[in-house]
Structure 1
Amino acid sequence: MREGLLRRMPACAALAVLVSLTTLASCSSVTPGARNAEASHDVGTPISAQDLAVWNIDVAPDGRGLPPGSGDVAGGAHIFAAKCAACHGAQGQGGLGDQLIGGQGTLTSAKPKRTVGSYWPYATTLFDYIRRAMPYNAPESLSADEVYAVSAFLLNQNGIVPANTRLDAASLPRVVMPNRDGFVPDPRPGRL
């Protein structure tokens, strides 16, 4: 009996695969010959430009994608104290979250400190990261004005911009970070 079962097993497995493929093929409303790169997959709903804009919030190193708004160092100090210091420390020295202030001149040492002031190559990257991921318990909850202000505060605390700085979409990309030349540009066409 066992030998008979073993001899029939491959045929049963092949039949199961054939039935599965036939079932899958019958579920499609597009005939195989009609499929091409532009054919619909009949899944989901086409997304509108307005719906996509909500998700399209990336900011390029040259500032493309920065939203309208502005913020200054003094306003950023208040926002940082209220929404950031619990994790990053009152002075940005670190705690539950990373150290954000200091570290200049340590990248080639045995214990490098990768902070906003020592490591990050573009101020726009700082804005992009804060906007998307901070505060940790409520990402994307800060307004554009608040993100500009916190960016100004952190850049000031790292000695990169003066205390009277107000940042916006025009001025933020012009901030030259200390480690900007520490990164190699992407050589692929269309990349920064």
Structure 2
Amino acid sequence: MYTFRRMLKASTLAACSAAVLVSTAQEQVKLGQAITEVSLAEFNLIAEPSGTGFPAGSGTAQQGRTIFENRCALCHGSNGEGNSDATVLVGGNMQSAETPLRTVGSYWPYASTVFDFIRRAMPANAPKSLTDEETYQVAAYVLYLNGLVAEDEIMNAQTLPQVRMPNAEGFIDRSHIQ
């Protein structure tokens, strides 16, 4: 009986203590705050295959070469050959059973995805540090390395979404679903 009372008291004390701690914690924790429209606009960076979401600007592969050599070649090599499979940008063959390799030229379905990825995530050591002009220029250079655009072809919000990617039919997107 003595042990039962001790256990009952200890359980009751533990339950009450837990309730007080939870109540206190809920009052003190103030997670998050409302985001402003200006802050939200910084995240609205999606360049879509339809051509919506692209910023103003333009660039050619000729212009992008220097930026690529200075900001991208450390990981991707001077000609997009990469330092590992994860950093290769040119060549590749997704249909190869032995060595499928995902590159811009063999895997990516839309040029807008290339632009969007560069804009959001590159260079890896300083994401979002390229200007919109530089992003167009680097995207043009990467597309040029893959033989998809001419070296002097201007890439902008109108022309870049029109670049036909070799693996464009390799994915199912919203337009394929009824």
Looking at secondary structure, tell me which structure has more helix per residue: 2
Matched, 1:71 2:59: yes
Residue from 163, 166, 185 that aligns with 2:173:
185
How many residues were matched structurally?
A: 173
Give the CA deviation at 1:141: 0.9
Counterpart AA for 1:74: Q
Counterparts in 2 of 1:102 and 1:5: CA distance versus 1, 3 Å: same
Give the corresponding residue for 1:101. 90
2:176 and 2:166 map into 1 onto residues whose CA distance is 25
Residue from 124, 132, 138 that aligns with 1:136:
124
Give the CA deviation at 1:21: 5.1
2:45 and 2:133 map into 1 onto residues whose CA distance is 15
Give the corresponding residue for 2:18. 17
1:85 and 1:178 map into 2 onto residues whose CA distance is 24
1:175 and 1:2 map into 2 onto residues whose CA distance is 83
Post-superposition Cα deviations, 1:62-85, rounded to whole Å, max 9, x if no partner, equal 222110000001001111111111
Post-superposition Cα deviations, 1:103-144, rounded to whole Å, max 9, x if no partner, equal 1xx212120111000000110111111111111111111111
Counterparts in 2 of 1:24 and 1:83: CA distance versus 1, 3 Å: closer
Of 5-14 and 177-186, more deviation after overlay is shown by: 5-14
Give the CA deviation at 1:22: 4.8
Give the corresponding residue for 1:8. 9
Secondary structure of residue in 1 paired with 2:42: helix
2:48 and 2:149 map into 1 onto residues whose CA distance is 20
Structure 1: 5+ residue stretches without partners: 29-41
Secondary structure of residue in 1 paired with 2:94: coil
TM-score (norm: length of structure 1): 0.79
Map of 1:157-176 to 2, 5 A cutoff? Answer: 157-176=145-164
1:187 and 1:16 map into 2 onto residues whose CA distance is 57
2:19 and 2:176 map into 1 onto residues whose CA distance is 45
Residue from 49, 62, 81 that aligns with 2:69:
81
CA root-mean-square deviation: 2.6
Counterparts in 2 of 1:44 and 1:123: CA distance versus 1, 3 Å: same
Counterparts in 2 of 1:6 and 1:88: CA distance versus 1, 3 Å: same
Counterparts in 2 of 1:136 and 1:18: CA distance versus 1, 3 Å: closer
TM-score (norm: length of structure 2): 0.85
Counterpart AA for 1:115: T
Counterparts in 2 of 1:99 and 1:44: CA distance versus 1, 3 Å: closer
Counterpart AA for 1:102: G
Secondary structure of residue in 2 paired with 1:113: coil
Counterparts in 2 of 1:84 and 1:15: CA distance versus 1, 3 Å: same
Structure 2: 5+ residue stretches without partners: none
Counterpart AA for 1:8: K
